[in-house]
Structure 1
Amino acid sequence: MTPHPLTWLYVPGDRPSVVAKALAAGADVVVVDLEDAVAPDRKEYARAATAELLSEPRPDVHVRVNALDTPWATDDLRTLAPLPGLSGLRLPKVTSAKEVTAVAERTGGLPLYALLETALGVERAFAIASAHPAVHGVALGEADLRADLGVREDAGLDWSRSRVVVAARAAGLAPPAQSVHPDIRDLDALAVSCAHGRALGFLGRAAIHPRQLPVIESAFLPTGREIEEAETIVKAAVAEEGAQALADGRFVDAAVVAAARRTLSLVRRT
């Protein structure tokens, strides 16, 4: 997988032609969705079509399986987990560490990404994030969380957003990706929302249409000024050990240098 994936493109698992287009759309990760995007009477077809797709090795394809308390989840895991084309499983509506551990024990170390979509899931964010070494990430499912909390204004989700960012960091995981922006036409609003998410500590975002990908990538890649500042900091750190002040008076310590190195790690994508 890309060291720092920024774009995660969701695509319905029961539409193989759309999946094929998604694989060529340039997303860092394609997420084949067997859950919300697939009607109950299409679940078995979606699983079979996805199994065929993943029967040979493929780069960076994940599957969002059905929620673990549904009648489809067991077959999803049993059918898909052993396949060579699967890079990770996204687990919807996770509410406990026990659920994640149970999946990890059945899937042989396959990378797992827990989606927190309820108040209870958010409250247990760190326990879930640190439940098992197979957990590679956590993220919010904001549509369901919004409904669970009865939140009408977007700002009402900011506490939950910060909670999952902190939980991921505390568990030693990569920063979470933002949840999807549902309006695929309003790219300006998407850009504003991405900027807000980046300010909260998110890295990258899930998308539901290829046209959203360039906006997301642009929002989370460092700017030219950020790159220049990071290079200055890292060069100063190499030249002298310990805390120091730059020529412009800014104080640089180990934490500042680490942040600069993280910034430069994203530049390799350009």
Structure 2
Amino acid sequence: MPVKISPYALGATLYMPAIRHDILEIIHGEKLSGLKSMVICFEDALAESQLEEAFENFTQLATQIKLSIKKPLVFIRPRNFDIAIRLIKHCDLSKIDGMVLPKFTLDSLPIWQEILEDTHLYWLPTLETQDVFSYLEMQKLADSLSTFKDKNKILALRIGGNDLMSVLGLRRPRDMTIYDTPLGYVIKMLVAVFGSTGFALTAPVCELIENLDILELELKSDIAHGLVGKTAIHPNQIPIIQDAWKVKASEFAEAQAIMNAQKAVFQMDGAMCEPATHTTWARNLLERYGAYGLLPNKVQEFMTKHN
């Protein structure tokens, strides 16, 4: 088994094509300091003609990765089964944390299990195919994963927003969050199905690079739905995404009180707290605090800035 990693450690997950020549600098923190996770992509980010260049680039950089506590989590996303097998057989993946599994379905589960069973790699299966719109199909997948022998290797399930919108022949309007589109229903359904069986889910990308107001609004819904991280496609999105998962001091105090409660029910800040039903929320929030810390005190921040 790989070293236990919290799904909250994912933060903003930045995608980059495997042909980029600054990947090693990003891994070592020389660029984009503070990045929590990244995906080196052999799939959508590359044309077929670029694959060999990508393999050559990745093969070289994989041997040069230095282990560091500051290193972001590093995942690779293969194009298909054959590319995944080639990466495992011919590349040094000892310092790679996991693999993003594209177009993940119930039918592909046993194939991925066979490919990855002798590796240390965490799984990030991506839900992005037509059957994701079916509650019945997702329940079947959740049931299978809940009894899957390597389920502890599944760090989180990714919601592939753009691919799912493509299935519908739609694109997100520029003035709306993803929750204002048909995917709002899909996200709620996936949270109900997979969240209730103990699996973490990450939020779809916000492709509106310049409209950071929409990103901030969308992040509030991501967190309200219990999602644990979000794909980023531009460096400007990274600090906004990671700040959004910081914990409010009031919620932190409430979570601590629930975990340490001696009473079955008590009141705090005008709300009822019931450890029997709120303990899972409190445990998750404290895990999130461990990854991100507290939101800054706005009053103290203002005073420090103006003194």
Q: TM-score range by the shorter chain?
A: 0.7 to 0.9
Q: Which runs of 5+ in 1 are unaligned?
A: none
Amino acid at match of 1:64: R
Alignment of 1:119-268 (within 5 A): 119-123=130-134, 124-129=137-142, 130-131=144-145, 132=148, 133=150, 134-152=153-171, 154=178, 155-173=181-199, 175-235=200-260, 237=261, 240=262, 243-246=264-267, 248=270, 250-268=272-290
Measured at CA, do residues 204 and 135 of structure 1 come closer, stay the same or move farther in structure 2, by a change above 3 Å? closer
Structure 2 segments unaligned to the other structure (5+ residues) = 173-177, 294-307
Q: 1:92 aligns with which of 90, 102, 106?
A: 102
Q: Return the TM-score normalized by structure 2.
A: 0.76
Alpha-carbon distance in 2 for matches of 1:159, 1:184: 24
1:51 aligns with 2:59: yes
The 2-side partners of 1:266 and 1:49 are apart by 35
State which drifts further: 243-252 or 181-190: 243-252
SS at 1:250's partner residue?
Answer: strand
1:8 paired to 2:33: no
Q: Measure how far apart 1:224 and its partner are.
A: 2.2
- SS for the counterpart of 2:50 is helix
1:65 maps onto 2:91 in alignment:
no
Q: What is the Cα deviation at residue 152 of structure 1?
A: 4.7
Tell me which of 29, 40, 51 is aligned to 1:32. Answer: 40
Higher relative contact order (CA 8 A, sep 6+): 2
Conserved 8 A contact 1:116-1:122: no
Residue pair 1:54, 1:85 contacting (<8 A) in 2 also: yes
Q: TM-score, normalised by structure 1?
A: 0.85
Q: Provide the rounded CA distance (Å) in 2 between the counterparts of 1:122 and 1:138.
A: 15
Q: Is the 8 A contact 1:104 1:112 kept in 2?
A: no
Write the distance in 1 (CA, Å) between the matches of 2:46 and 2:66.
24
Distance in 2 (alpha carbons) for counterparts of 1:152 and 1:90: 23
Name the SS of the counterpart of 1:263 in structure 2. helix
CA shift for structure 1 position 2: 5.1
Residue 114 in 1 paired to residue 125 in 2? yes
Identity among equivalent pairs (%) = 24
In 1, the alpha carbon distance for the partners of 2:186 and 2:38 equals: 25
